[in-house]
């Protein structure tokens, strides 16, 4: 256990508290803007966080992550335009409530459910991450390689109905990770005589390109779109009767969201959809869903925010990102010279517990901020896109250049943005590519070390029970959907 006095001193420092407040406000604003996401905002802020100490920097990014997930519910309820993908399920019942004059009640339920889910998952993170890290102390290179393969296999179910495209995207990320000089053999790979590429392609420019530039290009196609705005006179706390009606839904969805978040490569969007479906399945009035049911708001909002803390569990304890945004935060730890994993709990316990407490504070803050300022935040969504997206592009360029003060990084950012835009048109998302890029070095390094350990005999993996179990889980993850589809076709024919 760290020195709790030192942890509290770190977190209660006026600078850290101020950054948590700014990150929370910024996260709600970003989430409320259709098209922007917490992943993109964290990626844009990452280069600027280099000028901060590790604790303030990660506290800022974590607060932005938590609050951004909630912010999407504001425009989902008021405009029927989810500010972020996890808020899509919230719009199903939130917008009908707003149209019948209950926007304040809907926003109040969303704020409370999101805060409860986030606090619940942060408490789980506080206790589960150290336990998982202690279990991982016995991991060697074979176990880490198997764990990375398992994390990549989860890409097949990261979202949508295109598991093959997700796996292809993950492989593309792995390919990008191989650029540079191989530390094992000294061979130059894909550097094309450019000295800036000898150390590999930097993580931050690719992130900014895939999230920021890709989305800017996508939004440029919808500059003439108009939104129907519904006013809200006040945002109030739910009544005691509302609390009684949704308390079971919120608690159930908090468990669901935390569990989904812990799974590598899953995320808030999947958690929100499952939370909504389960809320409807357990409801005494399922016929009210889609027409303005309180449980239809509480279920997805509690689940998607609970997934944020859950996603940080494997990120911090094992170095396996639990979501795309967690992968960006993991990149933030790496650029500050910290390697996520079990040894981080021994080497930097105060930093980690500072992150835990920062996430707790962020969830409490966005409850207050969301209730007081939802009306104002909703107006931010009316900023003309012709002003918003050029500003985002400028931030992308500045952020990419600021990492190493290299124009090569700017070109990499632009190339990643155009590549992401082209792939998006064919149904490929950025998250699998990011996951492959983040796990690429771990896959390559642990495989090389394992083969040296086994004297180049790959059958040595079969002698490691934990590695073998992870390989079997990875195979099951990849084969689950095709097997289910095959069984369904056989049963249909019979």
> Tokens 């929370």 identify what position?
24
Find, among 129, 65, 143, the residue nearest to 348 by Cα.
Answer: 129
What pLDDT is attached to residue 235?
A: 46
What pLDDT is attached to residue 234?
A: 44
Q: What is the DSSP letter of 424?
A: H
Query: To the nearest whole number, what is the mean pLDDT of the chain?
Result: 78
Q: Looking at per-residue confidence, does 227 or 322 come out higher?
A: 322
Residues 185-222 as b/e (b if ≥16 CB within 10 A, e otherwise) read eeeeeebeeeebbeebbbbbbbbbbbbbbbbbbebeee
What pLDDT is attached to residue 213?
A: 83
Residue 446 binned pLDDT confidence (cut-offs 50, 70, 90): confident
Helix, strand, coil percent content, the chain, rounded in steps of 5: 80, 0, 20
pLDDT (tens digit, 9 = 90+) per residue, 31-40?
Answer: 777 556 677 7
- Give, in order, the Cα–Cα distances in Å from 176 to each of 211, 332, 416, 437: 16, 19, 10, 6
3 state SS of 160:
coil
Residue 419 binned pLDDT confidence (cut-offs 50, 70, 90): very high
Mean pLDDT of the region 9-21: 79
What pLDDT is attached to residue 180?
A: 86
- The β-bridge partners of 180 are 189
Residue 427 binned pLDDT confidence (cut-offs 50, 70, 90): confident
pLDDT (tens digit, 9 = 90+) per residue, 168-202?
Answer: 888 898 898 888 888 777 788 888 888 888 888 87
Q: Is the pLDDT of residue 430 over 80?
A: no
Residue 290 neighbours by CB distance under 10 Å: 12
Q: What is the 3-state secondary structure (H, E, C) of 237-291?
A: CCCHHHHHHHHHHHHHHHHHHHHHHHCCCCCHHHHHHHHHHHHHHHCCCHHHCCC
169 exposure class (CB count in 10 Å sphere: 0-12, 13-18, 19+): buried
pLDDT (tens digit, 9 = 90+) per residue, 282-303?
Answer: 888 888 888 888 899 999 899 9
3 state SS of 228:
coil
Using CA atoms, how far apart are residues 227 and 229, in angstroms rounded to an integer? 6
- The β-bridge partners of 181 are 188
Mean pLDDT of the region 483-488: 77
- Percent of the chain whose pLDDT exceeds 90: 5
Find, among 3, 17, 9, the residue nearest to 360 by Cα.
Answer: 17
What pLDDT is attached to residue 193?
A: 83
Residue 251 binned pLDDT confidence (cut-offs 50, 70, 90): very high
What pLDDT is attached to residue 169?
A: 85
Using CA atoms, how far apart are residues 377 and 75, in angstroms rounded to an integer? 9
Residue 476 binned pLDDT confidence (cut-offs 50, 70, 90): confident
Residue 2 binned pLDDT confidence (cut-offs 50, 70, 90): low
- By the 8 A CB rule, do 152 and 436 touch? yes
Distance of CA 429 to the CA centre of its chain: 13
Mean pLDDT of the region 231-236: 49
Find, among 27, 56, 245, 179, the residue nearest to 118 by Cα.
Answer: 27
What pLDDT is attached to residue 7?
A: 62
Q: What is the CA radius of gyration of the chain?
A: 22
What pLDDT is attached to residue 249?
A: 92
Find, among 360, 309, 317, the residue nearest to 130 by Cα.
Answer: 317
**Within 13 Å of residue 424, how many CA atoms lie on the same side as its CB?**
18
Q: Is the pLDDT of residue 382 over 70?
A: no
Find, among 346, 363, 347, the residue nearest to 309 by Cα.
Answer: 363
Residue 160 binned pLDDT confidence (cut-offs 50, 70, 90): very low
Q: What is the 3-state secondary structure (H, E, C) of 447-460?
A: HHHHHHHCCCCHHH
Residue 136 binned pLDDT confidence (cut-offs 50, 70, 90): low
Mean pLDDT of the region 244-254: 89
Longest dimension (CA), the chain: 71
């Amino acid at each position: 256990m760290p020195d709790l006095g030192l942890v509290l001193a770190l977190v209660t420092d006026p600078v850290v508290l101020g950054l948590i407040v700014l990150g929370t406000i910024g996260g709600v604003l970003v989430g409320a803007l259709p098209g922007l996401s917490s992943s993109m905002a964290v990626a844009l802020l990452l280069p600027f966080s280099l000028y901060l100490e590790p604790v303030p920097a990660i506290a800022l990014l974590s607060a932005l992550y938590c609050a951004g997930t909630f912010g999407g519910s504001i425009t989902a309820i008021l405009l029927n335009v989810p500010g972020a993908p996890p808020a899509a399920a919230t719009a199903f019942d939130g917008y009908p409530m707003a149209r019948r004059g209950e926007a304040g009640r809907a926003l109040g339920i969303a704020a409370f459910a999101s805060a409860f889910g986030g606090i619940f998952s942060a408490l789980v993170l506080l206790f589960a991450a150290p336990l998982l890290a202690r279990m991982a102390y016995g991991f060697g290179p074979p176990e880490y390689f198997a764990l990375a393969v398992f994390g990549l296999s989860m890409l097949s179910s990261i979202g949508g109905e295109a598991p093959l495209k997700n796996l292809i995207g993950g492989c593309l990320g792995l390919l990008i990770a191989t650029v540079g000089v191989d530390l094992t053999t000294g061979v130059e790979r894909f550097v094309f005589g450019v000295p800036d590429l000898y150390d590999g392609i930097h993580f931050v420019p690719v992130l900014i390109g895939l999230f920021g530039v890709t989305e800017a290009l996508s939004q440029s196609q919808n500059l003439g779109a108009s939104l129907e705005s519904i006013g809200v006179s006040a945002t109030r706390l739910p009544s005691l009767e509302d609390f009684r009606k949704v308390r079971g839904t919120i608690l159930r969805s908090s468990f669901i969201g935390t569990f989904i978040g812990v799974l590598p490569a899953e995320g808030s969007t999947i958690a929100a959809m499952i939370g909504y479906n389960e809320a409807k399945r357990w409801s005494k009035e399922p016929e009210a869903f889609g027409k303005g049911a309180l449980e239809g708001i509480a279920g997805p909002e509690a689940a998607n925010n609970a997934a944020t803390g859950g996603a940080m569990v494997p990120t911090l304890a094992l170095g396996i990102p639990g979501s795309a945004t967690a992968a960006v935060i993991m990149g933030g730890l790496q650029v500050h010279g910290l390697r996520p994993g079990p040894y981080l709990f021994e080497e930097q316990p105060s930093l980690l517990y500072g992150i835990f407490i920062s996430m707790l504070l962020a969830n409490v803050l966005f409850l207050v901020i969301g209730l007081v300022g939802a009306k104002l935040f909703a107006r931010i969504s009316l900023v003309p896109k012709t002003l918003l997206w050029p500003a985002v592009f400028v931030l992308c360029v500045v952020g990419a250049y600021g990492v190493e003060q290299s124009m090569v990084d700017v070109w990499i950012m632009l190339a990643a943005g155009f590549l992401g835009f082209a792939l998006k048109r064919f149904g490929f998302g950025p998250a699998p590519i990011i996951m492959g890029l983040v796990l690429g070095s771990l896959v390559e390094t642990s495989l090389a070390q394992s083969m040296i350990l086994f004297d180049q005999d790959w059958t040595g993996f079969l002698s490691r029970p934990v590695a073998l179990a992870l390989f079997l889980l990875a195979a099951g993850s990849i084969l689950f959907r095709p097997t289910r589809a095959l069984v369904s076709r056989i049963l249909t024919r019979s």
